Structure 1
């Protein structure tokens, strides 16, 4: 059993860690009362009040209570007692978008016992362009599956020999020249088909490659970005994809499989469930902060969110330094999710943490649930994020850990940032969450683990068709843009 250390002016007073006891409610309440009385005694001793009361002859309990300054004691409790107890108590925040993944790690034996099409371990065929096939991004996802980091196993392939091989002969993903599986019988042996949105040349080519879909086989539409840039290469008309897919893998919470660019998890038990490379101890303290107000890293200068318009307005009232193609300052390269990429070793982000107080995590589009690695990469460092996006950030981030720019006009936001910069103690309250939670450090390179997990869910194979794909993919994303006239969102097509 742990102990609670309460520092005093004349020594140290140890209290049992009662809040970790798993006793019946009545006994636990009694122990809490005893703990409070013990803390009260420590307070009397540390402040010299007990000695002073005895010297004055006022040592009766009634006299002690009558002379007891409640506000002073509560402040002492907050500073020396309550905070320590909170550090050892279960977190009261849970990342709602990441919870299904965490539950899969907590209960990894949740298999349905259903024999898959080609054995006990589900197989996935990936329909993906060879340009993406050879990127570190896709290789990183598959490596997590190969190395057993996912809570439940599956195999994913883009080659004929891998699909037809027996499980004991399976050697995992190897980057090759084949960019799609063009033989119908190969697809028939797979438990699901993973279709990369940016790799679809046309509806006709897709259906010709994959043959007609078995109603019980999931064809999973996968996309990491909004519909604005999902088909920049082939310019697919989304309306032509009506009736093609029956499952989705997307950043929106109404998708069958959630694509998260990052997550926040409680320290201790929750963090210990995950692969070590998914979370690392965040940087809590920093030295020699110069006190510049805000920084942004932006390379897409034509974002549908109009984030640069907001920043331009904000710069009229306070200092905002912009790095990347859209600013005058340069540092490093694009920071999209890579397996080898480590946020804690990024020299640009570390330099930003030593120089600035706030980080503008302004998304390229303001769409429901859309929050990218732009937000999570900087959560490792002790900066306060200022967000501009369509996500419900209360579901993603701990309380009092961020500032939502959509709640302020640029002039009002500048005033708030300046106020916090001039009041360090108040600013520090936005960093308190770091004592109890850890941010992800791998971006979205764990997303395929979610896919493997869902393949063990019998309901995932139930017959379903997205008849109006345009409505689901575009209309229901509810994308808006910031407009300078009144600082509110305005629907964009």
Structure 2
């Protein structure tokens, strides 16, 4: 659609305004099936009679910059694909209850993007980079059995503590800045561009195991840290989503850290597999048969969006941001039509299950998690802030971020 240079009075369709200017769209009509909405980041439309939804990108949500007072007919939409580390507010019910439409990694959200980092089933099943166990073992004189590539250190998942413990029992090559002990070739050191470079993928494929530990623990939060090693044929050692088993290509395609009582027990099993190629190869059998997990296959089949990998994209394809916009647009029109028929509009309200993540915990010498870490205090603080934020918004009371912070800190003292 072409950009529009219209005065607010010229817009007759439902208006959906990105309060956080995530899309950069100055103003356009978008057709969603047989419905149409006007999308914009222009705040001059905030009081327009046809304004229906204010959209927020979770990472840019600012407590000091909200469309308040909130009118009864104003709905809020949340797009947030990031880790809970990014903002603990969304881990709490009182925050999520402020939104009417959600797009997150959780399958319980209104427009889930659980597989946001998975290009396609074909990409996952590819054997382009696959290296046999015998050949991988042949690299043992220069490569460890396990690879770890992370530069985001001291995360809420406490992965550095776990990996440090694992290193006491089995060799791990760490290319990132966290626990660094090995250098990447200079041309693939960039943490963004380098990770998708063919040479980096070839390097990972030579390792029997890849540590796939997310920076935050949350149901359905799964990133390229899992999909990349699966794609190139390195068995992932996984910690992150408690439901990850439901998303794996088969029931024998990854090693789940929580399945082991101690780090040493896990290391012994990895060593066993490293010395027994026949047993190791069973973790790669799915590369021959294809994805057998029906849950994952269904999720991929039902996606109405695609990831632009510069290979299989067409003008008819949409990404998940466009998909979420149209999802909201159709919901808005559904309620408009219900009201025209003299019926009550549908009430949409999110809850904690649309994103909510548990309190962070620290690893000890076993994969069990214990208490006492700085992230926990931040998590609890944001929970109190969410409570007061919801109260202020729903009662149309003025506040500032500093006010929320002060009251919340007093709650914790």
TM-score over 0.5 (shorter chain): yes
Find the counterpart in structure 2 of residue 362 from structure 1.
213
SS of equivalent to 2:65: helix
Higher relative contact order (CA 8 A, sep 6+): 2
1:240 Cα deviation (Å)? 8.4
1:478 Cα deviation (Å)? 2.1
Find the counterpart in structure 2 of residue 257 from structure 1.
111
Deviation sequence 1:423-443 (CA, Å, 0-9, x none): 111111111112243799959
Find the counterpart in structure 1 of residue 391 from structure 2.
none
Superposition pairs of residues 25-40 of structure 1, within 5 angstroms: none
Find the counterpart in structure 1 of residue 79 from structure 2.
222
Find the counterpart in structure 2 of residue 447 from structure 1.
320
Distance in structure 2 (CA, Å) of the matches to 1:190 and 1:346: 46
**Paired residues, number:** 314
SS of equivalent to 1:228: helix
Distance in structure 2 (CA, Å) of the matches to 1:187 and 1:236: 29
Distance in structure 2 (CA, Å) of the matches to 1:164 and 1:251: 24
1:453 Cα deviation (Å)? 5.7
Q: 1:279 to 1:434 in 2, by over 3 A?
A: closer
Distance in structure 2 (CA, Å) of the matches to 1:284 and 1:164: 40
Deviation sequence 1:373-398 (CA, Å, 0-9, x none): 21112222011011011331221012
1:323 Cα deviation (Å)? 1.4
Is the aligned partner of 1:126 residue 2:10? no
Distance in structure 2 (CA, Å) of the matches to 1:182 and 1:384: 48
Deviation sequence 1:288-322 (CA, Å, 0-9, x none): 43143100111111111111111111111111111
1:350 Cα deviation (Å)? 1.6
**What is the RMSD of the two structures over their aligned residues, measured on CA atoms?**
4.2
Superposition pairs of residues 41-440 of structure 1, within 5 angstroms: 124-129=16-21, 133=22, 158-160=25-27, 162=28, 180-184=41-45, 189=50, 192-202=53-63, 205-208=65-68, 212-213=70-71, 215=73, 218-230=75-87, 241=95, 244-260=98-114, 261-263=116-118, 281-283=126-128, 285-286=130-131, 288-289=135-136, 290-291=139-140, 292-326=144-178, 327-331=180-184, 332-333=188-189, 343=196, 345-354=197-206, 356-397=207-248, 398-408=250-260, 409-437=262-290
Distance in structure 1 (CA, Å) of the matches to 2:283 and 2:195: 24
SS of equivalent to 1:125: strand
Q: Is the 8 A contact 1:284 1:434 kept in 2?
A: no
Distance in structure 1 (CA, Å) of the matches to 2:30 and 2:363: 54
Structure 2 regions of 5+ residues with no counterpart? 1-10, 301-305, 310-317, 336-345, 380-413
Find the counterpart in structure 1 of residue 409 from structure 2.
none
Find the counterpart in structure 2 of residue 91 from structure 1.
none
Structure 1 regions of 5+ residues with no counterpart? 1-116, 134-155, 272-277
1:488 to 357, 365, 368: 368
Q: 1:282 to 1:237 in 2, by over 3 A?
A: closer
Distance in structure 2 (CA, Å) of the matches to 1:228 and 1:250: 14
1:479 Cα deviation (Å)? 3.9
Q: Is the 8 A contact 2:118 2:224 kept in 1?
A: no
Q: Is the 8 A contact 1:125 1:157 kept in 2?
A: no
Q: 1:373 to 1:183 in 2, by over 3 A?
A: same
SS of equivalent to 1:367: coil
Q: 1:446 to 1:285 in 2, by over 3 A?
A: same
Q: Is the 8 A contact 1:123 1:192 kept in 2?
A: yes
Distance in structure 2 (CA, Å) of the matches to 1:363 and 1:164: 36
Moved over 6 A (4+): 235-240, 438-441
Q: 1:241 to 1:362 in 2, by over 3 A?
A: closer
1:399 Cα deviation (Å)? 1.4
Distance in structure 2 (CA, Å) of the matches to 1:127 and 1:482: 36
Q: Is the 8 A contact 1:373 1:443 kept in 2?
A: no
Q: Is the 8 A contact 1:282 1:434 kept in 2?
A: yes
Deviation sequence 1:346-392 (CA, Å, 0-9, x none): 322221212x1100001111222221221112222011011011331
Q: 1:305 to 1:250 in 2, by over 3 A?
A: same
Deviation sequence 1:112-135 (CA, Å, 0-9, x none): xxxxx966xx87533335xxx5xx
Distance in structure 1 (CA, Å) of the matches to 2:366 and 2:326: 45
